[in-house]
Chain A
Amino acid sequence: MRSQVYEWSNLATATATSTLRRTVDAIPQLVPVNREYDIFIGGIGNNITKPAETTATQFIVIEDIACSAYMGGAVQVRINTTDYFQNPDVTDQSGVPGLASPYPRGSSDIGGAAIAVAQVDTVQLLKSFDLYPDVYVLPGQVFQILYSCQTALAGAAAGNTIVVSAFVKYTLYDGPDALIANKLLELGVTINPNNVDWYKRTLIEQQQRSRVAATATNGGSA
């Protein structure tokens, strides 16, 4: 099991709206308002080669999501085709606002201001949202982190573009850890590194007990 992060920004080159991995001195790209963009393969900013998905031997637990607090930014989690965050009337919503889960932590809620205004800005936002319980991505599922903004990313001066970013922190369980994660899910136990370790210990203890029992049955010989 490994702790993992993925950071997305609307930064790409002068000739492309998206790039695989990151590029030096990248330029901010416009993100159309009120549309959801997959931070992995959405075609804006730094992307990866294929949709984010788990293989048959992987299990992912998403533990935190965050995005820029300005321009009405929000992040939604989608598993296969189902959005995780919904309104009380079970209609769609844009997800967790950057104001509730800002990235970077301590950043301001003004992104498009002139530099003179930004330099005297003293707002340091803290998070008011904690992704708990965590979101599980079961083996074979596709997951998306969708970023959307409500205000155009136009900067203070004409032609300027605002830089926005999003962040996801998750733990990847693979191989035997993924099997244990599935077992914990069946048992209704929360999947976290501590509980996976606890399950391993119980397996080892069971093995030891059965070995002792087998030795006793054989009259003391192994």
Chain B
Amino acid sequence: MRSQIYAWNGQSGTAASSWTNTNTGTAVSIFIGGFGNNITKPAETTATQFVVIEDVAVSPSGFLNSGNAAATAYRGLVAGAENGVFGNRAYIQVRINTTDYFLDPDNVGNDGIPGAASPYPRSTNFQPCFNLYPDVYVLPGQVFDALVTTYQNGAFDGAGTAPALESSTLYAFMKYTLYDGPDALIANKLLEMGISINPGNVDWYKRTLIQSQTAAPMPTA
């Protein structure tokens, strides 16, 4: 089992593949969405892998009052419009196969976790008030994705170009643990048993297996 992270920067890469205002209001995959740094194929688990997503985060937002001129900065975040919102007003949703994880109370899929609740990067100005617990399990053979949606235009201090303020870059972050081989089998077993899948419980299961083998009577010669 291995602790893994995936950090996404919407402005990395060429100008053509950098996040721009035209993407505002559209959910884009941080893995294969075509913007920022991407990977070669959709994120998925093989038959011998089990993934536990433990944290997701996205660039924070700040709220003030309308009328402040566009491109004004507050705590490192840029005001795109004069509507009192600073930063990208970004959200991150987890999708397993075709199902969105985060729903509104009317059972309709929403935009996901707000960057204001789970900011990346974290700072004293922008602290988390959301903890992804219980974790999200990606079972063997499932495809998983993290989708970023923004609702604020022009928060990059120059659309499509490198921003002057580092913190107005659109970032996203996912922390997960990859269980592979025998650890994935144990993870499946723990899931059947209704036990939370985490490195501590996987190790516990291994110890109980070893203890039961040790306790078994030795074969006679």
With a CB–CB cut-off of 8 A, which chain A residues contact B74? Answer: 115, 118-119
With a CB–CB cut-off of 8 A, which chain B residues contact A211? Answer: none
Instruction: Please encode chain A, from 1 to 31, with 1 for each CB lying within 8 Å of some chain B CB and 0 for all others.
Output: 1111111010100000000011111111000
What range describes how many residues of A lie at the interface?
35 or more
Instruction: Using CB atoms, name the residue of chain B closest to A196.
Output: B194
Known: A106-B124, A163-B63, A165-B116. A21 touches B84 (CB 8 A): no
With a CB–CB cut-off of 8 A, which chain A residues contact B127? Answer: 104-106, 124, 126
Question: Do B194 and A200 touch (CB < 8 A)?
Answer: yes
Taking a contact as CB atoms closer than 8 A, the residue among A1, A48, A115 that contacts B108 in the complex is: A48
With a CB–CB cut-off of 8 A, which chain A residues contact B65? Answer: 28, 111-112, 153, 155-156, 160-163
Asked if B110 is at the interface (CB within 8 A of a chain A CB), the reply is yes
Q: Which of A81-89, A167-175, A212-220 contacts its partner? A: A167-175
Known: A24-B151, A163-B84. A52 touches B105 (CB 8 A): yes
With a CB–CB cut-off of 8 A, which chain A residues contact B84? Answer: 28, 155, 160-163
**How many angstroms from the CA of A112 to the CA of B130 in the assembled complex?**
26
Question: Do B128 and A105 touch (CB < 8 A)?
Answer: yes
Asked if B214 is at the interface (CB within 8 A of a chain A CB), the reply is no
Question: Do B105 and A3 touch (CB < 8 A)?
Answer: no
Q: A7-B116, A201-B193 are known; give 9 further A-B pairs, CB within 8 A.
A: A5-B130, A7-B117, A23-B25, A25-B152, A28-B83, A104-B62, A106-B125, A156-B67, A160-B67
A residues contacting B by CB (< 8 A) are 1-7, 9, 11, 21-28, 40, 48-50, 52-53, 64, 66, 68, 103-107, 111-112, 115, 118-119, 124, 126-127, 143, 153, 155-157, 159-165, 167, 169, 171-172, 193-194, 197, 200-201, 203-204
